[in-house]
Amino acid sequence: MMKSVHIIANPVAGGGKGLTQAHALVSALESRDIPVTLFITGKAGDGQAEAGRTATDVVAVVGGDGTLNEVLNGLPEATESALAILPVGTANVVARELGMRSDPEFVADAITSGNTVAMDVGIHDKQRFLLGAGAGLDAAITHAVQSGRGNKSNLAKWVLPALRVILGANYPKIRVTVDDEVVAEDGDYVIVGNCRYSAGVFPATPHADISDHKLDVCVMRQLTWLRLIWLVLRVWNPDFVNAPWIAYRQGQHITLEPADSESPVLMQIDGDPAGQLPATFSLTNWSIRMVRPTGSAGVSPVK
């Protein structure tokens, strides 16, 4: 049984549901006689700073993948604290992988059980990540959404920016290297995944396993409107990666570079804007303990 829990909550996550959900989680944990404290973020960076000051058995994040990323980056290296998620963000990819629900009672039960799984931690230029990264199309959408979503975030605020980016998309080419092998010189859209899901709900790296100490890379080349439509329809079948215009690899060191130095390529990490390529992704030599539901063996990769 976990001894103490510190909650770090983003009050504007889920269109403003974060604060209510955080207080509900406090009540659920207190009813189980678990000591709990609560910190509410006020601005970007607060979650990271608070995580750096925290010494507790469990750090529970109330928010989305972006808030979780902040907390992850604030925790001490090789921390012994476990991370729990009460997902109230837009995509909640990591929570989806772990089987965590947007239900304070469910999350409190999972924390109380003490059931955890060791999850790989990715790293790029000293920034850690759990979900993964994208370059090209989804990163351009992420940047467009971030610039116009205001204080509250929800799925509806992704729709118009996404359509504008897709309708006006030009695809600067991306060179992809995996463990010293050049996989592609002409990638249009590249996903680096520690989890199966990317771009919200799409299983873009369907063979990813959060504990295999590998990153999965999906490279889409020569994109057209017809191929985008095909991708949306076929991405639910893991065999989509066998298409001749898609390259799929697993490795520990991934480098993404603009194939043309005059054509900048945007990047996102864990669903938040992260500048431009070039970028190198690898894994830390330690894992983070993630709380998961009782009796769960974790969400296994799609085969």
Nearest in space to 174 (alpha carbons), one of 235, 97, 254:
254
pLDDT value for 264? 86
DSSP 106: H
Percent of the chain whose pLDDT exceeds 90: 72
Q: Could you say which DSSP state residue 198 is in?
A: B
Q: How far apart are CA 134 and CA 268, in angstroms?
A: 5
pLDDT recorded at residue 298: 47
Give the residue, 200 or 119, on which the prediction is more confident: 119
Alpha carbon distance 175, 136 (integer Å): 12
Query: Mean per-residue pLDDT for 231-242?
Result: 93
Maximum CA pair distance of the chain?
A: 59
For residue 186, the tally of other CB atoms under 10 A from its CB is 14
Per-residue model confidence (pLDDT) at position 160: 64
| HEC readout, 241-297 | HHCCCEEEEEECCEEEEECCCCCCCEEEECCEEEEECCEEEEEEEEEEEEECCCCCC
Catalogue all structural domains in the chain, each as residue range(s) with its CATH number. Answer: 5-114 (3.40.50.10330), 132-284 (2.60.200.40)
CA–CA separation, 176 vs 153, rounded Å?
32
Find the helix packing angle between 137-148 and 156-167, rounded to 10°.
130
Q: What is the reported pTM?
A: 0.87
Is the pLDDT at 267 greater than 50? The verdict is yes
**DSSP designation for 233:** H
What tokens does 91 get? 């995509």
Question: What confidence tens digit (pLDDT) does each residue in 48-67 have?
Answer: 999 999 889 999 999 999 99
Distance CA 8, CA 106 (A): 18
Closest alpha carbon to 264 in 163, 178, 192, 170: 170
Q: For 15-32, what is each residue's pLDDT tens digit?
A: 899 999 999 999 999 999
Annotate 262-300 with b (16+ C-beta within 10 A) or e (fewer). Answer: eeebbbbbbbbbbeebebebebeeebbbbbbbeeeebbe
Q: What is the mean pLDDT of residues 153-168?
A: 58
